[in-house]
Amino acid sequence: MALSFATRHALWLQLLLKDLTLCKLIVELRCDNASCIKIRSDPGSNKHTRHSARDFYLTNQVLFENRASIKWVPSGEMVADGLTKALRPNLIQKFTNVFLGRRE
């Protein structure tokens, strides 16, 4: 579900940048859920996930058209966690550096 949500927002950003004639952007969708990536490649393979096929349809279409790519990343490296989860002090510093463009 979150991957589909991210795909919709990535498409909106692509259209915005296209309208502003800044650049053509291929978005890299980062996901820390290996099962989600597996289901994305074959959404009808499991009877318990068939209801999710509609959500994965858009993502599959965008990936097929090479308008985005998908990449698995470990949970500890998910930059979005810095904005969405309560973090320990060491992770707060790590994500602050990432957001400010500093190298560790």
DSSP state of 75: G
What does the pLDDT profile of the chain (104 residues) look like in tens digits? Answer: 677 788 888 888 888 877 777 666 778 888 888 877 777 666 556 666 666 666 677 788 888 888 888 888 888 788 777 777 787 888 888 888 877 777 65
pTM above 0.75, yes or no: no
| 46 contacts: CB under 8 Å, gap ≥ 6 | 39
List beta partners, residue 68.
Answer: 27
Half-sphere exposure of 90 toward its Cβ, with a 13 Å CA cutoff? 2
